[in-house]
């Protein structure tokens, strides 16, 4: 209750009775300003205090009308709303860039590792240029000469860093629901001197680790954590995987595990599980069969390309997190007049 969003200009939407549609008198109040005003602690608390209901709390339009706020002049509202919307627009753009880069990495992985049109020694696509293919019994298909097929278990170490979080002064805790499609939505920061961490906070996350939730795999709670920061601990609901040889190959293994056909395979296993909810075992992931070039120089060259892509994704994600923190810090200060927005942000 209290979530707020803008209807994009020019679009038409239907909404149900649990959503209140707020119309704006443009001569008195700015729509961007109102959008952020309703996100402030003061307004949200007033809305929540007006709620009733024994099981499901709810409010009403009449009670929303009773919310009291101090409104700055319309020109100041426009400056504030426009400035905050610039931050959100940049965050949205960063998110789109990250999504497009990951799609590019997935397409490139399929092109090189499933269609086998990786660059040959002359820079030409291997299979399309007549590169020699040999039959592989394990996969039941042809693979390039000089490639081999193994289970992921032969390449990856699984759940190696089981720790007792009490050895740290503080930890960042990542639950399964807070990592989706390689995007971290929330990390719980816990002061171990005064707080008790969740009992599932047991898996230490190292740079470039692959995290994959074994619970309800259809919800896509997985990701590649290139920069976990200090003392990031993940839930035991995650399986954590990393290359036995060199973590520079983790991007390749991540892209393989998250191929649609592999995700579907793992989901089918989860659906046949007799436990209370769909789940898989780490061994189900470890049993997937992957084909890779024997020549580590070739593999390393491919890995460098994927590393560059995912490092860029991480950089944009980090910038978005910093911008969101800045927005949330400035929001109450702008609304109560402690800080001002200059004329350069006016429309």
pLDDT digit string (tens) for 189-206?
Answer: 999 999 999 999 999 999
**CA dihedral sign of residues 256, 257, 263, 264:** positive
% residues pLDDT > 90 (the chain): 68
Domain edges within the chain: 1-71, 124-293
Question: How confident is the model over 235-254, as a mean pLDDT?
Answer: 95
What is residue 57's predicted lDDT score, i.e. its pLDDT?
Answer: 78
User: How high is the pLDDT of residue 9?
Assistant: 77
**pLDDT value at residue 344:** 59
CB 146 within 8 A of CB 274: no
Higher pLDDT, 336 or 256: 256
61-70, 99-108, 110-119, 325-334, range with the lowest pLDDT: 61-70
SS3 147: strand
pLDDT at 342 over 80: no
Task: Report, as an integer, the average pLDDT of 248-271.
Answer: 95
Distance of CA 104 to the CA centre of its chain: 16
CB atoms near residue 251 (< 10 Å): 26
Query: What's the whole-number average pLDDT of the chain?
Result: 91
Q: Are strands 232-235 and 170-174 parallel, antiparallel or unpaired?
A: parallel
- pLDDT value at position 312? 97
Confidence of residue 328 (pLDDT cuts 50, 70, 90): very high
Check residue 65 and give its pLDDT: 83
Query: Mean pLDDT, to the nearest integer, of 170-186?
Result: 94
Residue 139 has pLDDT above 90, yes or no: yes
Residues 160-169 have pLDDT tens digits of: 888 888 889 9
How many Å apart are CA 8 and CA 122, to the nearest integer? 50
Q: What is the CATH number of domain 124-293?
A: 3.90.220.20
Two tokens, residue 346: 């006016």
Contacts of 144 (CB under 8 A, 6+ apart): 116, 126, 127, 131, 132, 133, 134, 293
pLDDT for residue 252 is more than 60: yes
Q: What is the 3-class SS of the chain, one letter each residue?
A: CCCCCCCCCCCCCCCCCCCCCCCCCCCCCCHHHHHHHCCCHHHHHHHHHCCECCCCCECCHHHHHCCCCCCCCHHHHHHHHHHHHHHHHHHHHHHHHHHHHHHHHHHHHHHHHCCCCCECCCCCECCCCCCCEEEECCCCEEEECCEEEEEHHHHEEECCCECCHHHCCEEEEECHHHEECCEECCCEEEECCCCCCCCCEEEECCCCEEEEECECHHHCCEEEECCCCCCEEEECCEEEEEECCCHHHHHHHHHHHCCHHHHHHHHHHHHCCCCCCCECCHHHHHCCEEEEECCHHHHHHHHHHHHHHHHHHHHHHHHHHHHHHHHHHHHHHHHCCCCCCCHHHCC
| pLDDT of 278 strictly over 90 | no
CA distance 171 to 174: 10
| Predicted pLDDT of residue 343 | 64
The answer, yes or no, to whether residue 346 has pLDDT greater than 60, is no
For residues 118-146, give the mean pLDDT. Answer: 95
Which pLDDT tens digit goes with each residue over 11-67?
Answer: 788 888 778 888 877 778 899 999 999 899 888 888 888 888 767 777 877 788 888
Q: For residue 69, is pLDDT > 80?
A: yes
| Chain segment 289-316, per-residue pLDDT in tens | 999 999 999 999 999 999 999 999 999 9
Question: Under a CB-based contact definition with an 8 Å cutoff, are residues 167 and 231 in contact?
Answer: no
Which residue's structure tokens are 């200060």? 333
- Output the pLDDT for position 175: 96
Residue with more model confidence, 276 or 200: 200
* pLDDT for position 1: 63
How confident is the model at residue 267, as a pLDDT? 94
Region 216-229 average pLDDT:
93
State the pLDDT confidence band at 178, using cuts at 50, 70 and 90.
very high
């Amino acid at each position: 209750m209290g979530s707020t969003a803008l209807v994009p200009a020019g679009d038409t939407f239907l909404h149900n009775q649990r959503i209140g549609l707020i119309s704006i008198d443009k001569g008195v109040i700015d729509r961007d300003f109102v959008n952020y005003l309703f996100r402030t602690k003061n307004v949200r608390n007033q809305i929540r205090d007006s709620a009733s209901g024994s099981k499901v709390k709810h409010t009403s339009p009449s009670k929303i009308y009773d919310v009291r706020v101090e409104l700055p002049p319309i020109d100041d509202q426009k400056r504030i709303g426009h400035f905050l919307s610039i931050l959100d627009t940049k965050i949205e753009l960063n998110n789109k860039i990250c999504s497009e880069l990951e799609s590019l990495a997935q397409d490139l992985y399929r092109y090189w590792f499933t269609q086998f049109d990786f660059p040959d020694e002359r820079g030409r696509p291997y299979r399309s240029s007549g590169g020699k293919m040999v039959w592989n019994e394990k996969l039941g298909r042809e693979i390039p000469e000089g490639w081999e097929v193994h289970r992921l278990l032969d390449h990856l170490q699984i759940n190696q860093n089981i720790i007792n979080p009490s050895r740290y002064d503080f930890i960042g805790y990542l639950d399964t629901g807070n990592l989706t499609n390689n995007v971290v939505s929330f990390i719980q920061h816990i002061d171990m001197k005064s707080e008790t961490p969740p009992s599932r906070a047991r898996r230490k996350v190292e740079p470039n680790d692959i995290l994959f939730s074994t619970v309800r795999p259809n919800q896509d709670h997985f990701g590649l954590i290139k920069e976990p920061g200090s003392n990031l601990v993940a839930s035991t609901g995650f399986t954590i995987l990393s290359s036995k040889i060199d973590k520079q190959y983790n991007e390749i293994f991540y892209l393989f595990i998250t191929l649609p056909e592999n995700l579907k395979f793992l989901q089918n296993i989860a659906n046949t599980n007799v436990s209370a909810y769909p789940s898989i075992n780490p061994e189900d992931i470890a049993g997937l069969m992957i084909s890779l070039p024997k020549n580590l120089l070739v593999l390393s060259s491919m890995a460098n390309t994927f590393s560059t892509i995912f490092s860029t994704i991480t950089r944009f994600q980090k910038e978005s997190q910093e911008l969101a923190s800045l927005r949330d810090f400035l929001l109450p200060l702008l609304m109560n007049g402690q800080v001002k927005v200059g004329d350069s942000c006016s429309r």
